[in-house]
Amino acid sequence: MSAETLRTALAREGVDAEVEARGRLAVLRASSPDQWTEARRRAVAVTLAADHGFTHVALELSAADAAVRRD
Amino acid sequence: MPADLSAARVKEAALIALLRSAGDVVVGFSGGVDSAYLACVAVEALGADRVTAVIGRSASYPEEQWANARTVAVRVGLTVREVDTDELADPRYAANPSNRCYFCKSELWSRLRPIADAVGAGVLVDGTNADDLCEYRPGARAAAEHGVRSPLAEVGLTKSEIRALSRERGIPTWSRPSSPCLASRLPYGTPVTVERLRAVERAERVLRELGVTGDLRVRHHGDLARVELTSSELDRWLGARDVAELERAVRTAGFARVAIDLHGFRSGSLNVLEGIVRE
């Protein structure tokens, strides 16, 4: 699994997010959390994450001071 | 809820018969949906003087769990005893292996067995239900080793049936979300400490105070709290203003980073993350 390939796949679907891999958990940072109110968009992210080997995908909430690492 | 309660009522009749044949019982009582229903039916089947409910108090559960359990016991007319358990002192438990629950339940049942002997109860029972048999439950082996029976599972009662029957009986726990121990929020291999358990407890409590309803878990990933909500709560909380409130609340519990799981609540989520079970 790779954070970078998931980031690229999300971008293809119009989701601009940085991705941090923590084992099989993908942590996303996106500029506008409100875009995730749409269940369909969440489902897309979950499916893409699964396609890239992640069992879990979570959206980090406005952690402007948290560094995001990429693998 | 099951559409047809008639099958559940048949199972309940079998449960009453099973309990009557067992004699005096000691119920491992958490005040949750399953054990509250079991204790209530046991009182009906045997009479209150032949049923002892025992609360095993442990640091692995939130404080409010015990207050709720006492309240439920009073509502359903149960005799309750309380005993402290200390699974955190067992390094095999504290190391948080994938069979952690085995060591916790071994501690619990080793404390309850002498109570059962003291009150002359031949049978220790727990609230394991038929759905639980399909899940990864290493604690079941400890129960078997201590001769604990699981009457709800034995008669095939599922969680949804237990909720429906509890509702019919007016048992206040019928709609209560499931509440497994706080250690279930820590990935396997992350040592179970009082500090980590209390951080999870604080985070879940502040989210409840904020108005989060339904199933809720705060999973502990070191500096990061991963919040699992039901699908409808995800819809509600991911609005920009609400999500900021949620983040602030979890941070006050001691987490530097807060993330919301986009899949939402999954029972046994960390078993999936660790590859112990597949979805």
What ipTM score was computed for the predicted complex, to two decimals?
A: 0.88
Using the Cβ of A60 and the Cβ atoms of chain B, whether some distance falls under 8 Å is answered with yes
* A36 or B240, greater pLDDT: A36
A59 Cβ under 8 Å from any chain B Cβ: yes
Residue with tokens 């500096």: B223
Query: What average pLDDT does the segment B248-264 reach?
Result: 95
Which residues in chain A have their CB less than 8 angstroms from residue B234's CB?
Answer: 39, 42
Return d(Cα B142, Cα B131) in angstroms, integer.
18
Report the C-alpha gap between B213 and A14 in whole angstroms.
Answer: 31
pLDDT exceeds 80 at position B154: yes
Task: Report the Cα B117 to chain-centroid distance in Å.
Answer: 25
- DSSP H helical ranges for chain B: 6-22, 33-46, 63-76, 91-94, 100-118, 139-145, 151-154, 159-169, 194-210, 231-237, 240-252, 269-273
For residue B244, the chain A residues in CB contact (below 8 A) are 61-62
- Give pTM, 2 decimals: 0.85
To test the contact with chain B by mutation, choose from A36, A41, A44 the residue with the greatest count of B C-beta atoms within 10 A, namely A36
Using the beta-carbon criterion (under 8 Å), do A36 and B262 form an inter-chain contact? yes
pLDDT top residue among B46 and A67: B46
Residues of A in contact with B239 (CB under 8 A): 34, 37
Q: Which of A56-65, B157-166, B251-260 has the lowest mean pLDDT?
A: A56-65
> What's the sign of the alpha-carbon dihedral B72, B73, B74, B75?
positive
Q: Which structure tokens are listed for B87?
A: 């699974």
Longest distance between any two alpha carbons in chain A, whole Å? 30
- pLDDT score for B37: 96
Give A68 or B205, the one with higher predicted confidence: B205
pLDDT of residue B165: 97
Residue B271's pLDDT is: 79
> What's the pLDDT at A35?
78
Cβ B231–A66 below 8 Å, yes or no?
no
Q: Per-residue pLDDT tens for B35-82? A: 999 999 999 999 999 999 999 999 998 888 888 899 989 888 898 999
Q: How far apart are CA B105 and CA B89, in angstroms?
A: 14
Q: H or E stretch including B265? A: none
Chain B contact probe: residue of A28, A47, A56 with most B CBs at under 10 A: A56
- How much is the average pLDDT of B231-235? 90
- Residue B130 has what pLDDT? 95
- Top-confidence residue, B1 or B274: B274
Q: Give A52→chain B minimum CA distance, Å.
A: 14
* Distance (Å, whole) CA B80 – CA B194: 26
What's the rounded Cα separation, in Å, for the pair B44 and B37? Answer: 11
Residue B114: CB atoms within 10 Å: 10
Helices A3-12 and A39-51 meet at what angle, rounded to 10? 140
Cβ separation B221–A22 shorter than 8 A: yes
Q: Is residue A68 within 8 angstroms of chain B, CB to CB? A: no
